[in-house]
Amino acid sequence: MCAKITILGAGHGGQGLASYLTLHGHDVYLYNRSRTRIKPIRKEGGIQVDGVVTGFAELTKCSTNLQEALSHAEFVFLVVPASAHRNLAVQCAKFLTPEHVILLIPGRTGGALEFANILERRSGWTPTVTEAQTFPLVSRAIRSGQVQVTAVKKDLPIASFPSTHTNEISERISKVLPNISEATDVLETGLSNIGAVFHPAPLILNVGRAESTKGQYNHYLDGVTPTVAQFIEKIDAERVSVGRALGKDILSAAEWLNKVYGSTGQNLYECLQTTPCYQGLGAPPSLDHRYIWEDVPTGLVPLAAIGEIVGVSTPAICTTIDLASHLTGRDFWEEGRTAEYLGIEALSVSELLSYVWSGSITAIPNLDIMLAPDEEMESAE
C-alpha cells in the first residue's frame, strides 16, 4: 500500500518520520512553517537518512504551503511541539476535511481533545482526532536534509477522540506506521505523558546550575539527586492517582522505566541511575526550553485540570506550574491546556468518560468497565 501522507513539522522527528515512510514506499509531503529550515531539503529534493533505514528519501514535495500540503494527504501527521497544536488547529481548520486521518505524534496530555475542540468550533463539522502516546522512532537531524534514525519503538499506543473510532483508525494507521496498539481512550494516552514528570521539575530545581554551566551536566543522572527524585515521585503519584480515579491503570514513572528500558531500583532515583540511554545526556542551558514551554502548558496544566474534575489534589504539579510561571514571567495557567480549551469544563467524572468515549456526555458507555470500584478510587486519593 502506498499512502499519501503529509507531515507537518520538519524538526528532528518530522525529518526522521518523513524519511522512514518515504523509504517504505509511501508518498510523503513535508510541510514546515519556516522556509529557512527546509531550504536544504528543497534544494536536494529529499533527505539523506542513516541508521535502521539507510538511503536518500526523495520526498514528493517540501514546502510552506499548508493548503497544498493538506490537499495532498489522506493521512495528516502533526510532528511539532505540542505547544504548537493550538495554532495549527486554527490554521488547518480551513483546509481539513472529515476524510483526513489526523494523528498528533505525540499528543502529550489533552492534545486530541484540544485539537478537536478548536477544529469543530472553526470548521462546523465534528472531527475525529487521534493521538499517539509517544513518537514511533528515535531520530535526530544532523542538519536540515540529513537525519539519523537509530531505533523503531516496539509499541506505539494510540487512541482516537472519540474512542468509538479508535479501532477503525488504528487499522488504517497500522498500514503506515509499525507496531500500533490501541489504548482505551485519549485519557489513557494523555495521562501516560512521562515527559511532564521527567522534564520541568528537575530543570527548575537545577536552574542555577543550568544557567551557570550552560547545560554542561546530565539532566537525569546529575540533575536528579535523591531529594529531587522524591519531589518528582510526588508529581508522578498525583498523575497516577488521577488515572486511578478515572479507572486507568497508569504505569508509575519507575514502572515505565522498567518496562521500556529495563531499569531497576527500589525507587525512582535508583531506576534513573540504571537507565543506559540517559548516560551522557546533556541538560538544557536555561529555562527557555521545551522542557518548560512545552511540557508545562501541555502536560502539567491539563493534568491539574483533569485532577480537579475527578477530585484528586495535585499540589506538587500545581507548585511546579507556579514556579515555572514565576521564573519565566509567563502565565502557564492562562496559556496552557485548561479544561475550557479541552472542552471538558464543568463535566463530572461519568460525563468526562462518556465524552472521550462517544463525543457526547449523553451516550454513556458501560461505566462498570471504565470506572474503578469506589474503594479503589478512595485509596487512590
Active-site pick, 26, 72, 236, 295: 295
Residue 31 in grid coordinates: 510541510
155 flagged as catalytic: no
Residue 320 in grid coordinates: 511546579
First to last CA, the chain: 48
Active-site pick, 26, 199, 219, 236: 199
Q: 157 — phi, psi (to 5°)?
A: -70, 135
CB contact burial 305-316 (16+ within 10 A = b; e otherwise): bbbebbebebeb
295 flagged as catalytic: yes
* DSSP calls for 241-276: HHHHHTT--PPPHHHHHHHHH----SSHHHHHHT-G
What CA–CA distance (Å, rounded) separates 254 from 234?
12
Contacts for 118 with CB less than 8 Å, ≥ 6 apart: 86, 89, 90, 93, 341
Residue 227 in grid coordinates: 531529594
For residue 146, the surrounding DSSP H or E stretch is strand 146-152
CB contact burial 187-211 (16+ within 10 A = b; e otherwise): bbbbbbbbbbbbbbbbbbbbbeebe
Q: Which residues are catalytic?
A: 199, 295
